[in-house]
Amino acid sequence: MELGIGMFGDLQINAKGEIQPAQQRLQEIIAEIKLMDEVGLDFYGIGEHHRPDYAVSSPEIILAAAATVTKNIKLSSAVSVLSSSDPVKLYQNFATIDLISNGRAELMAGRGSFIESFPLFGYNLQDYDELYEEKLELLLKINKEPKISWKGKFRSELKNQEVLPRAVNDNLKIWVAVGGTPESVERAGRLGLPVMFAIIGGQPIQFKPLFDYYKKVYQAYGHDMNKFDVGVHMHSLFGENSNEVADYYYPLYSAQMNRIGKSRGWPPYQRNQFDGGRSSSGALIIGDANESVDKILAMQETFGLTRFSAHMDVGGPSHAAMMKSIEIFGTKIAPEVRKALNK
């Protein structure tokens, strides 16, 4: 099982509501990715957002910068909002990162958890499902065929057109991110695509039927089980002392949940929700190394994971807290998880 970190590029927001300058946060992110590589984590993913509380609107630019200061870590989006992107340009960008990084780039396609990109790039939300389906089809075709002819509804026709540059070995690994709908799971299984499940609330065990369904569909369509990849993305932060990291993180985490929840009609986030999420049956991995090892191993045993992604910057923890969390993940948690799985 690969172990890594996902981020959305959350900006730090103080008690006065003042937002950290994006320039500062972007430089911190590069330093954090560099440390991830140094402590031996397997992959890094960065999300795409177009909001004032996030620093990253172009994951590929962050990943290209990270490619120049890292040696081994895989570099992925988490996610690229495919519905409002041009698949041709998206492939070109990630193929370029793949060449710069000597084959370490991956692309994770998704619908995104926010909708700001649709009006920003001139798309109609009424086409939400059709946009994603058509663009995923085109992206996969580009990845398989250097020269393509294609016609769809939402973009100009391609006639015997080369899409360059090509990724290393002429193949870019493309994941899809799903939030829990059976339709998304069925599509991924049918197409034989690796899946990342976002489990960010409730009890992870509730997702077990979707994991089983994905594997069933994947096998039913005759895809190679040697290439079967499935992961989870879970809100995480690690510290030396479990109670101390929880007490530090709760105000930041709850503030972000309330900022998002205000526009989605959620009730105010409570400490008992946070503590319940941190329990052995909850979806938050926030605590010390020993607790985190146990919970990550439990996720692997439950779901048969090939990848675990710790989403580590929700609510904008300080750069110092992020660096400490990365260090603990790489030097204490990852070795113990790998040791347990290799027995």
> 169 with 103: CB under 8 angstroms?
yes
**CB neighbour list of residue 82: distance below 8 Å, 6 or more residues apart:** 90, 109, 110, 111, 132, 135, 136, 139
Q: Which residue has the higher pLDDT, 181 or 323?
A: 323
CA 18 to chain centroid, in Å, comes to 27
pLDDT of amino acid 9: 98
* Residues written for the chain: 343
Convert the pLDDT of each residue in 63-97 to its tens digit. Answer: 999 999 999 999 999 999 999 999 999 999 999 99
The domain tally of the chain equals 1
pLDDT of amino acid 265: 92
pLDDT of amino acid 113: 81
**Amino acid letter, residue 285:** I
**Amino acid letter, residue 194:** P
Judged against a pLDDT cut of 90, whether residue 343 lies above it is answered with no
Convert the pLDDT of each residue in 248-291 to its tens digit. Answer: 999 999 999 999 999 899 999 999 999 999 999 999 999 999 99
Rounded distance between C-alpha atoms, residue 219 and residue 230, angstroms: 13
* Angle at which helices 319-328 and 22-38 cross, to 10°: 20
- In 3-state terms, what secondary structure has residue 271? helix
Judged against a pLDDT cut of 90, whether residue 28 lies above it is answered with yes
Q: What is the mean pLDDT of the chain?
A: 97
Judged against a pLDDT cut of 90, whether residue 227 lies above it is answered with yes
Which CATH number does the domain housing residue 200 bear? 3.20.20.30
Residue 193: domain span:
2-341
Convert the pLDDT of each residue in 163-217 to its tens digit. Answer: 999 999 999 999 999 988 899 999 999 999 999 999 999 999 999 999 999 999 9
Stretch 217-222: mean pLDDT: 98
Closest listed residue to residue 107, CA positions, set 83, 90, 122, 84: 90
Residue 205 DSSP class: G
> 91 with 142: CB under 8 angstroms?
yes
pLDDT of amino acid 268: 96
